[in-house]
Structure 1
Amino acid sequence: MMKINFSQWVVRILNLKPRLHWDHLFRLSLEDLKKLEDVAVPASNAAVRSCRQKGQAEESCRNYIKVLLSHNERLFSCGTNAFAPECTWRDINSLVTVREKVDGMGKAPYSPHSNSTMLMTVQGDYYVASPLDFSARDYALYRIMGRERPLRTPIYDHKWLSGCVFKSGPGVQNDQGGQVILKENWTTFLKARLNCSLPGLYPFYYNEIQSVHYLEKEQLFYAAFTTGENSIYGSAICVFNMSAIKHAFEGPLKYQSTQKSAWERSTPSSQQFQCKAVEDNERVIEAQKYQLTDEAVQPASRRPLYTGELERLTHLTVDVVPTKYSFDGVHVIFAATLEGAIKKLVVIPGLLETCFVEEIQPFAPRQRHIFTMKLLKDTSSLYLGTEKEVLRIFVHRCEQYRSEESCLGSMDPYCGWNKHQLACTTAPHLNPLSLDWKQNHAGCPNSNVPVDGGWSSWSQWAECDQVGKDSPGDHCLCRSRLCNSPAPTNGGKPCEGSSLEVTNCTQHGQWTEWSGWSACSRTCGLAVKFRRRTCGNPSPKFGGRVCLGPEQEQIYCTSNPPCPAYLNIDGDWSEWGEWSQCSVPCGGGVQYRERTCDNPRPSGTGADCQGPSKEERDCNVHQCQKPEEEEWTEWSVWSLCDHNNEQHRRRTCMILDPNPTQCRGSTRESRMCIAGQETVSVLPSLEDQRDSGGSGIRTEHLVGACITCLVLGALVGALAMYRYTKRHHSRDPLAPKHLGTPLVQAEGNTYVPHSQYKNNFSTLTTSPGGKFQKEATIKRNGFRAQIHSDHNF
């Protein structure tokens, strides 16, 4: 699981709140902490590799956001970026919008574990108190951005700074530094020790400041102090006014000649540390010599406002609450402890004494460490940042007081008795002077008033160990609450209900009881019987073990009689069953029927039945009927009115050989003519003329006409062919009129005399051209004579 460290945040009164951890920057709603934006800001790969090569742990080589400040609708954020700091300016209403990237060197620490403090003024001047090098040895108070020139404390000078647990040590805002000596260094830097101690012959000092809250209108500083890290745990809260701080800085100073020397009092003029430029080297040298005031800043009260033994305060914030008898406001202190509790204290006006009102337990004891705590008056809420979550809690919890006596006796400045509602509430409409709202003078809670106990919020579910000899190492999920909001006092009723809830405990599976034995698998001879059980008493859950052992048992049936000897019987078929329904209604389908080999069944070494167990046959082989609209032609047009004053129309069946189920209906329809109806201009069909006995053209007439036309056409064609043949193949008019082969002209043949021509007749004639003409049959060969009209062959 990722470890999340919400170390700083910015709270704005626009329903926005960025928060941070490594590699991500979130923006949340102030009301319900709903996530509005989640922007990934991971460290670059090059920076991670370099960080790992320099020996840093993998967890440290991330981008931890250490700076988060708002200025003019922009958000200035800086991250460690795997020990290579990097800063950006972003749109505070859209964190994904990066307006500018800035080098983070000198503006943020390298290590996520370094203690640091940052401030940005209204003018945009940026001050940072932090170690500024990779090894975290160069502690500095640095002004690095804004209108003024950059200034810092001298490097590695323990008299200026020796660490980041700071005393009160302001520099002057318009300090310009030295011209030659202390160039780029502060010349107005002084520091003073804040005295928060228990008075006595040997005062007990709380030396380490953990948290500070400044009330600008009242000019007061509230600060939480603790003892040293190696000392007995102890904490205190002291308040300082600005006049005491000014008095310390205007007094004598201390001087240390060497690191081993004691600090000695000196009385130089402190006027040289005023807000003006240094004009001579002597004053610059004085600035190098003196850095610590001789007198400590004394608290506004002789004793601390609050002290706690064996506890360590980590954060502090102060709210000014107007009350019915102190409209200027009562100061309410919220102080967070290392254990995660929040103490609520009230400062009595005019007395500078505090009263403990209640302790708020937002978490189970020691389950959370509060990294930051901010107060927002607009929502009357405290916002806490922890390792795993951001939490909002109200500064008032008036509803926990059930009676007027307990409400007024709590002396909580936020609460009073509402006469109209008969309940303990905050001031109606933020007006504590309301007549319906009753409240006592500020003071400490009345210890004699019974206070009924009230539960704190439930802690988060966490894994806890199961107790019992049968469950070593088993776990459950547990959460708890405490009866401390408030705790019952002065005879008040204790809290009702349980302080602990347990769920999802590891549950190992257990078997149910065995069922009864089943019947034997056979009634004679060798047989078995069974019994069962299930793993459901209870079933395994939440990582529990499954049941061990068999789910089923079987044993032999010992009481069965021996089975009789079986004869060897051949099997025979039963009767055929009924035919099944045909697979289709028409067009040819299939029917089936079956029989079984059980008349008798084969037993022993008997033979099985011979032949098929299933038989089929064709069925519904007749053609499927066409739809009625596809069997008939379209109806003809209506005929003219006949002598019976009727009209008729017909249709024809398109099936050549219809069966009785096809072409059902009439082939002819009739209707009466309407009186005075005009004569229809469409001729009636031939069938109608025939039916009506009219004298029109009939079908027989058309058939006869067609046949006559064909005969006449054939005769005309034959005559034309005859005339063509006669014209192109007529005989010579001088040729003899006898039958035989036609006469042809031939050239004289050198090798055959004219008397030896082969012919059917001996008559020799000549053509008008003087050539011989013979009636002859000419044999076509290579030595034939050339003849006229050779193209005819």
Structure 2
Amino acid sequence: MMTLSAPLLALLWLVQVVCSAFPEEPGPLSSIPTEVVRKYPVFLGRPHRSSLRQEPLHIQRILQVNRTLYIGARDDLFRVELDNVVGDEMFYSKKRTWESNKNDISICRMKGKHENECRNYIKVLLSRQGGLFICGTNAFNPLCANYTGDTLEMVGETVSGMARCPYDPKHANVALFAEGNLFTATVTDFLAIDAVIYRSLGDSPALRTIKHDSKWFREPYFVNAVEWGPHIYFFFREMAMEFNYLEKVVVSRVARVCKSDMGGSQRVLEKQWTSFLKARLNCSIPGDSHFYFNLLHSTSPILHLHGRDIILAVFSTPSNSIPGSAVCAFDMEQLASVFDGRFKEQKSPESIWTPVADELIPKPRPGGCAVQGSKFNSSNSFPDEMLNFVKTHPLMDEAIPSLGQRPWIVRTMVRYQLNKMVVDTNAGPHGNRTVLFLGSSRGTILKFLVVPNQDNTAPNNNVFLEELEGYNPEKCGQDTPQARQLLSLTLDSNSHTLLLAFPSCVVRIPVARCQLYSRCMKNCISSRDPYCGWTRGSTCSFLRAGTRLPFEQDVDHGNTSYLGDCDGKLTLGSPFLASPPIPKTHRTGFCLGYPASGSS
């Protein structure tokens, strides 16, 4: 009889424990045929259909401003009018080429970089004062410039991209404007050793994080940044320093800085943040032993849902763990309160990390914002004792818990990793439904209906509505894992479409495919898709917000017990087909007939 080794037995036990503790993961209500998606419009970098595109695009960033889409690629910036789609392709109306000069390319090659690396990859693409602010890697010598939004003409001179844009196109970075200042998170050097959160280009003085201090940063991967209240919050993952393990452990973090920070005194933290603090994000499945999703990949903007300001985030497990992804929600008030809690410290390199006793924390409280009219109305005037403390104690003791202490969505033991997200909080004919779209490492899109619990914390009855292929190899070119890497996922609310950016193309996909159920009322109702409803024309129609069409849908339950089976023809039961009335016992949770009062 074959005997199993101890490591294999341990792995089997772990799989059994995890699988028994995880919530059930039903498949989608609808799997969309590939041929449906392959008819959707694609941007390939052409001005018109007769034009040929030779070089690959190497798309890096996309930015939607009103009805215009800007696409930053390698050496090129494109302007695409979203309302001027011709058939199955989107064409650009303007294109601007911004290539590295021969000298920068030559120096880049001399330093050992490949020809493809010594190009100008657009890594920062922001809207600024009616125009665009753009930064590119510029052959490992980053540059930034302002451009007009209509003609894509450069305005003024270029400025250094150091600390604003990475040198290497493969490195992650984030950037946003807030109160006239540019806040960036990237690396500042050719070797990508010096990670930084940096403020520049505004009326406030330039500030940065401390150089080469592993307590502040340890190999961070920056994901997103948001403005909330008096702070900017940066979401990232990094190597943990607080665990006494031999192997490296990656954890997810959020750091914050005060927008009003003016830097420290001439003795401590001069030209550096006095308000930089960071805390761990906890996305895990509770149990006797928590199962953690430690790798942060993407976050939503701040959403106002059910009376709370929340942020959703996509996490995954490490590649050498049980494969899985999760979506966790974090309440911004709860998140901010963690930064008012205890600090964490390591008293010596050999000791474990422990909380700092309250009586040892100097006053005013380290990491706070200076308050006008108070004794310390500027961070320049903070006492040295306080500045030294925040310099050596940037980590909070408590981790930030997810809403409801568990993920909103979990997908495990699948061949893909969820890594992008976008949320529609105004879905459906009454604009009162929340639909979450998740992008995977294979280029697929998963669509979920978020159904809140009574306490509005952690929905555990979310509905997996659809799964569909997002990548179109017939139009986008090669079909490889690299080509299928989803760079960004954007919701165009006006046209009710998703914009999927891949390295070689941008694919535009409607948020719903109601026409697939158009011949069968039962399929239309059971789809539970808030965008779709059975209408007077005896068809499954897309329902725009405030529609005045009579419609029927049951998003909450998908109850079709009163309907016959689909046979390719219209089924009985529709109130618009002079069929028998629907029994009252089946009407709970339905949106029947006309829109609710208050909709236009």
Give the structure-2-normalised TM-score. 0.71
User: Partner residue of 1:223?
Assistant: 313
**How many Å separate the matches in 2 of 1:209 and 1:449?**
46
Matched, 1:407 2:524: yes
| Equivalent residue in structure 2 for 1:145, among 174, 180, 201 | 201
Shift in CA distance, 450/23, structure 1 to aligned 2, threshold 3 Å: farther
Matched, 1:160 2:160: no
Question: C-alpha displacement at 1:261, in angstroms?
Answer: 3.6
User: Partner residue of 1:316?
Assistant: 421
Shift in CA distance, 394/440, structure 1 to aligned 2, threshold 3 Å: same
| Equivalent residue in structure 1 for 2:257, among 151, 171, 191 | 171
Question: C-alpha displacement at 1:301, in angstroms?
Answer: 2.2
Matched, 1:356 2:409: no
What amino acid does structure 2 have at the position aligned with 1:98?
V
Matched, 1:7 2:60: yes
Shift in CA distance, 160/413, structure 1 to aligned 2, threshold 3 Å: same
What amino acid does structure 1 have at the position aligned with 2:80?
L
Matched, 1:206 2:293: yes
**How many Å separate the matches in 1 of 2:504 and 2:79?**
16
Question: C-alpha displacement at 1:401, in angstroms?
Answer: 1.0
**How many Å separate the matches in 2 of 1:369 and 1:89?**
29
After TM superposition, list the pairs within 5 Å mapping 1:640-655 onto structure 2.
Answer: none
Shift in CA distance, 81/446, structure 1 to aligned 2, threshold 3 Å: farther
Shift in CA distance, 17/332, structure 1 to aligned 2, threshold 3 Å: same
Question: C-alpha displacement at 1:337, in angstroms?
Answer: 0.5
Conserved in 1, the CA contact under 8 Å of 2:296 and 2:314?
yes
Matched, 1:418 2:535: yes
| Equivalent residue in structure 1 for 2:71, among 14, 19, 44 | 19
What amino acid does structure 2 have at the position aligned with 1:3?
P
User: Partner residue of 1:274?
Assistant: 368
Question: C-alpha displacement at 1:443, in angstroms?
Answer: 4.7
**How many Å separate the matches in 1 of 2:402 and 2:564?**
34
**How many Å separate the matches in 2 of 1:258 and 1:328?**
55
User: Partner residue of 1:111?
Assistant: 168
Question: C-alpha displacement at 1:185, in angstroms?
Answer: 0.9
Deviation per residue, 1:454-512 (Å, 9 max, x gap): xxxxxxxxxxxxxxxxxxxxxxxxxxxxxxxxxxxxxxxxxxxxxxxxxxxxxxxxxxx
What amino acid does structure 1 have at the position aligned with 2:130?
E
User: Partner residue of 1:289?
Assistant: 392
Higher strand share: 2
**How many Å separate the matches in 1 of 2:351 and 2:151?**
55
SS of residue matched to 2:65: coil
What amino acid does structure 1 have at the position aligned with 2:552?
K
Conserved in 2, the CA contact under 8 Å of 1:141 and 1:152?
yes
Shift in CA distance, 173/441, structure 1 to aligned 2, threshold 3 Å: same
Conserved in 2, the CA contact under 8 Å of 1:357 and 1:445?
no
**How many Å separate the matches in 1 of 2:440 and 2:512?**
19
SS of residue matched to 2:107: helix
**How many Å separate the matches in 1 of 2:400 and 2:136?**
35
What amino acid does structure 1 have at the position aligned with 2:269?
L
Question: C-alpha displacement at 1:104, in angstroms?
Answer: 1.4
SS of residue matched to 1:283: helix
Matched, 1:197 2:284: yes
Give the structure-1-normalised TM-score. 0.54
The structure with the largest alpha-carbon Rg is 1
Shift in CA distance, 94/159, structure 1 to aligned 2, threshold 3 Å: same
SS of residue matched to 2:494: helix
| Equivalent residue in structure 2 for 1:302, among 405, 408, 411 | 405
User: Partner residue of 2:123?
Assistant: 66
Deviation per residue, 1:607-641 (Å, 9 max, x gap): xxxxxxxxxxxxxxxxxxxxxxxxxxxxxxxxxxx
Shift in CA distance, 385/446, structure 1 to aligned 2, threshold 3 Å: farther
Shift in CA distance, 364/65, structure 1 to aligned 2, threshold 3 Å: closer
Matched, 1:431 2:546: yes
After TM superposition, list the pairs within 5 Å mapping 1:42-81 onto structure 2.
Answer: 42-81=99-138
Question: C-alpha displacement at 1:96, in angstroms?
Answer: 2.7
> Greater RCO between the two (CA within 8 Å, min separation 6)?
2
After TM superposition, list the pairs within 5 Å mapping 1:442-521 onto structure 2.
Answer: 442-443=556-557
Tell me the number of residue pairs that the alignment of Structure 1 and Structure 2 aligns. 446
**How many Å separate the matches in 1 of 2:558 and 2:311?**
23
Conserved in 1, the CA contact under 8 Å of 2:530 and 2:555?
no
| Equivalent residue in structure 2 for 1:396, among 499, 506, 512 | 512
Deviation per residue, 1:212-253 (Å, 9 max, x gap): 002343311010001124333211011111122022111111
Conserved in 2, the CA contact under 8 Å of 1:370 and 1:385?
yes
Question: C-alpha displacement at 1:449, in angstroms?
Answer: 9.3
Deviation per residue, 1:384-419 (Å, 9 max, x gap): 111221111111211111322211111111111112
User: Partner residue of 1:529?
Assistant: none
Shift in CA distance, 398/187, structure 1 to aligned 2, threshold 3 Å: same
What amino acid does structure 2 have at the position aligned with 1:134?
F
Question: C-alpha displacement at 1:348, in angstroms?
Answer: 0.4
| Equivalent residue in structure 2 for 1:386, among 474, 489, 502 | 502
**How many Å separate the matches in 1 of 2:343 and 2:137?**
38
**How many Å separate the matches in 2 of 1:196 and 1:217?**
20
Conserved in 2, the CA contact under 8 Å of 1:410 and 1:446?
no
User: Partner residue of 2:597?
Assistant: none
Shift in CA distance, 431/369, structure 1 to aligned 2, threshold 3 Å: same
Unmatched tracts of structure 1, length 5 or more: 454-793
SS of residue matched to 1:292: coil
